[in-house]
Structure 1
């Protein structure tokens, strides 16, 4: 049973996560075989002050998250 963890910037809507879960599940089943019910996806949302790239916090690179940033 595949377990997939998707780590991303906090702020995506529940609907967006539904769409990602469906698309990733389809890709796993189409590639590895098996059944959809065997695929587990975990979402880990990170605040911009808890995530750095190249030694710089995402908060400093992109500013605070604005509600309209993600659908």
Structure 2
């Protein structure tokens, strides 16, 4: 019984996009690991941007520094 957790920032991921993530993750596990889609769980966690960092910086500071 695979469980996949996908974390994204809470910046407007739509219901349709979430559904697509669930569908494709389930299909991938079925194809690659021969797992039953009926027993595959996908959890999408939306993380507040204030709680997200990369390269030692809060996400917003990283964007300001590298997306000029």
Would you call these one fold, judging by a TM-score over 0.5? Answer: yes
TM-score, normalised with respect to structure 1: 0.78
Partner of 1:13: 14
Number of aligned residue pairs: 63
Partner of 1:25: 26
Distance 1:34 1:26 in 2: 9
Write out the 4+ residue segments of structure 1 that deviate beyond 2 Å after TM superposition. 59-63
Structure 2: runs of 5 or more not aligned? none
TM-score, normalised with respect to structure 2: 0.81
Distance 1:54 1:34 in 2: 35
Structure 1: runs of 5 or more not aligned? 64-71
